[in-house]
Chains A and B, each alone.
Chain A
Amino acid sequence: MKFGLFYEISVPRPWERETERTVYNNCLEQVKLADELGFEQVWAVEHHFLEEYSHCSAPELFLTACAMVTKNIRVGHGIVVCVPEFNHPIKIAERTATLDILSGGRLEVGTGRSATWTELGGFRADPDSTKKSWDEFVRCLPRMWTQERFSFQGEFWSMPERTILPKVYQRPHPPMWVAVTSPGTELDAADRGLGSLGLTFGQFAEQEKKIAEYRRRIQLCEPVGSFVNEQVATVNFLYCHEDDAIGVQKGRGMANMFNYLATQLISTREVYASRSYQSLGLLPQLRRQAVGPDANQQGGEGLALGGPERIIKAIKNWESCGVDRINFLLNANEVIPQAEVMASLRLFAREVMPAFKDSAARAPAKAVA
């Protein structure tokens, strides 16, 4: 089992001049500490226009800053939106390669397609075509990173032969992942030999089933890259406190706030009838749980909230479900003071991490014959 951090970068109102800067600085301080404590990855989302919920529209810049203040922690672009109105694929290849170089080969690349009308409508992207454009992008990226010269004629973009520069530092290229929220996307990941970057919380039985299907399916995959990245990551909240009751109570406050903010988003399915968005993804689960931002009950089994013993038990359950990595959200709308977030990270590293020191970690990637 490996542990990482996961950033949406939520910023509470009122947005005064220093508010966003303070939140970004807090996140950087957490990443620096996490690197020292032995956390293995830090992921940052790409979201646009999602007021309060996520002010992380340029994750590659945040991750570059992370790389500059750390030594070992890997930096995960989680995810880059593979829709042409959001990101031109040449720019994705160039930016990610640069980040891989600057981080000394520590980049992981998550891919996805956006799930909200707020974002898709804001870029005037066609919801019907995002799955198709994602497919085209993920097939091109490894070739753009590795081929000396590249040309492409596709449905969503094309380019004449050019040399895309710089090239990635890792050989053959950084591990690739897919954001998995909608049912069935884990199969898309498996079929393409991509890691499953789970973005749903809790629910052991459901995730165990998905993971088993992913493992079965990936055995017969046709990888889009030079190797198969057979890894399953999930996301969780983390608030670890010596006093279990305090840990549960404060942690639930943070989780409730996150869930409540998430349910304010306009999912594409809510407004735009499309075969491409038949599922609400993460939202139904969060809506069931989001009683209110200050509710003191919080559903969702397996959350890493409470004292070290409780958290170890939850993570052991995830391990037995087949999860390789857990990425933690540490805060939402700054409801937990920064000093307490830092203390939670230290306590987790001291009391929880050793329980997983000898876990058999799945090889990060398998080379394709």
Chain B
Amino acid sequence: MPLYGTLDTASVAARLPRLADLDTEAWSLPKAETLQLAFEVPTDTWALLPKAMHPAVPAYAIVAVTRYSESPVGPFVLAMLRLAGRAGAHPRGFVLGGVASSAAAANALRERWGLPVEAGEVSLVRRHDRVMARASLGGRPILDAALVNPEAISPSDVQYINWVTLAQAPLDGVTKPMLVQVDPKHTLHKAERGRPEVSLLDAAAWNAGPLKPLNPIVATMAVSDTDLPRIRFVMDTEIPVFKGTRRIRESREGE
């Protein structure tokens, strides 16, 4: 059988976002610009994955920095670090940490979807030779990354994998750490590809323990109409997701 993650959920329970309920409304997020960098990371990052998930082999991570120009809480920029894994048979990006450029966005993302996002400073800057992303918390830089030498590609060449986040979630009258699937849909309009460059990634600030960028894979920059949908699935953290998944509602019901 494939390997499983080894995260001791109790050890991180205190810092997890808390969801009031599993009934958040969806957000429509048009014209989002997303810089995504993929790179291989050390094998021991498997310890950051919950026991319900399988690690990706080789281990890899994704830094995604998105400028949402329109949202219910106004424009904001969001940086996230996700560790790739498998929820049963499906590729998923397990959210390790995030920074949003507005407190309103950070609070909403924590409370509505259980995303571990702090308010900080995030920028996404475009130049002809590169697209640069920076993030800091309380003035302390925690991310400096770029897509180098962007070249246009077909939007259909870009694939995003869905996210899974670990949060205190209420289910059957009990609030406890659960895995929450967040699966935005994307209608891509424009895409570029280039070389990923990560010059600073403060792993501790992203709850990412031993994670450090090793082999770069690829970077993309894309414009899409996207969303943050209603929560459809939650999963037990300790047993394989093919046994421990609960469907909360039918696919995109009411959206």
Q: Closest approach, in angstroms, between the C-beta of A295 and any C-beta of chain B?
A: 7
In A1-54, which residues have CB < 8 Å from any B CB?
A: 12-13, 49, 51-52
Contact indicator B89/A260 (Cβ below 8 Å) = yes
**Residue A287 CB within 8 A of the other chain:** yes
Q: Mask for B85-114, Cβ within 8 A of A = 1, else 0? A: 010111100000000000000000000000
Q: Mask for A254-296, Cβ within 8 A of B = 1, else 0? A: 0000011101101001111111001000000011001111010
* Set of chain A residues within 8 Å of B157, measured between Cβ atoms: 273-275, 278
* Set of chain A residues within 8 Å of B1, measured between Cβ atoms: 12-13, 52, 293, 333
**Residue B127 CB within 8 A of the other chain:** no
Rounded to whole angstroms, the CA-CA distance of A4 and B77 in the bound complex is 56
In B197-232, which residues have CB < 8 Å from any A CB?
A: 215, 217-218, 220
Q: Which of B158, B159, B240: most chain A CB closer than 10 A?
A: B159
**Residue A354 CB within 8 A of the other chain:** no
Rounded to whole angstroms, the CA-CA distance of A292 and B242 in the bound complex is 6
Q: Closest approach, in angstroms, between the C-beta of A290 and any C-beta of chain B?
A: 4
Contact indicator B2/A266 (Cβ below 8 Å) = no
Q: Which of B19-27, B52-60, B115-123, B171-179 contacts A (4 or more CB under 8 A)?
A: B52-60
**Residue B11 CB within 8 A of the other chain:** no
Contact indicator A264/B54 (Cβ below 8 Å) = yes
Contact indicator A266/B60 (Cβ below 8 Å) = yes
**Residue A249 CB within 8 A of the other chain:** no
Contact indicator B89/A259 (Cβ below 8 Å) = yes
Contact indicator B91/A278 (Cβ below 8 Å) = no
Q: How many residues of chain B get a CB closer than 8 Å to chain A's CBs?
A: 32
Rounded to whole angstroms, the CA-CA distance of A49 and B43 in the bound complex is 14
Q: Closest approach, in angstroms, between the C-beta of A75 and any C-beta of chain B?
A: 30
Contact indicator A290/B89 (Cβ below 8 Å) = yes
Q: Closest approach, in angstroms, between the C-beta of B196 and any C-beta of chain A?
A: 11
**Residue A117 CB within 8 A of the other chain:** yes
Contact indicator A272/B217 (Cβ below 8 Å) = yes
Q: Closest approach, in angstroms, between the C-beta of A259 and any C-beta of chain B?
A: 7
Q: Closest approach, in angstroms, between the C-beta of B12 and any C-beta of chain A?
A: 25
Q: Closest approach, in angstroms, between the C-beta of A301 and any C-beta of chain B?
A: 19
**Residue A64 CB within 8 A of the other chain:** no
**Residue A182 CB within 8 A of the other chain:** no
Rounded to whole angstroms, the CA-CA distance of A259 and B2 in the bound complex is 12
**Residue B81 CB within 8 A of the other chain:** no
A295-B159 contact in complex given A121-B58, A273-B191, A275-B153, C-beta closer than 8 Å: no
Rounded to whole angstroms, the CA-CA distance of A259 and B156 in the bound complex is 26
Q: Mask for A108-127, Cβ within 8 A of B = 1, else 0? A: 00000000011001100000
Q: How many residues of chain A get a CB closer than 8 Å to chain B's CBs?
A: 31
> Chain B interface secondary structure, helix, strand, loop or mixed?
mixed
Q: Give the residue name and chain of the A residue nearest to B54 (CB).
A: A264
Q: Give the residue name and chain of the B residue nearest to A274 (CB).
A: B157
Contact indicator A273/B56 (Cβ below 8 Å) = no
In A188-244, which residues have CB < 8 Å from any B CB?
A: none
Rounded to whole angstroms, the CA-CA distance of A93 and B60 in the bound complex is 36
Rounded to whole angstroms, the CA-CA distance of A264 and B3 in the bound complex is 10
* Set of chain A residues within 8 Å of B156, measured between Cβ atoms: 278
Contact indicator A118/B57 (Cβ below 8 Å) = yes
* Set of chain B residues within 8 Å of A271, measured between Cβ atoms: 38, 60, 84, 217-218
**Residue B69 CB within 8 A of the other chain:** no
Q: Give the residue name and chain of the B residue nearest to A52 (CB).
A: B2
Partner of B158, one of A273, A290, A295: A273
Contact indicator B215/A290 (Cβ below 8 Å) = no
Contact indicator B2/A261 (Cβ below 8 Å) = yes
| Other A-B pairs beyond A13-B3, A121-B217, A264-B2, 11, CB < 8 Å | A13-B1, A122-B58, A260-B2, A263-B88, A264-B57, A273-B159, A273-B218, A274-B153, A275-B154, A278-B156, A278-B157
21 A-B pairs with CB atoms under 8 Å apart are A12-B1, A49-B57, A121-B40, A121-B58, A121-B217, A122-B58, A263-B86, A263-B88, A263-B89, A264-B2, A264-B57, A266-B56, A266-B60, A272-B38, A273-B193, A273-B218, A274-B157, A287-B89, A290-B89, A291-B88, A292-B243
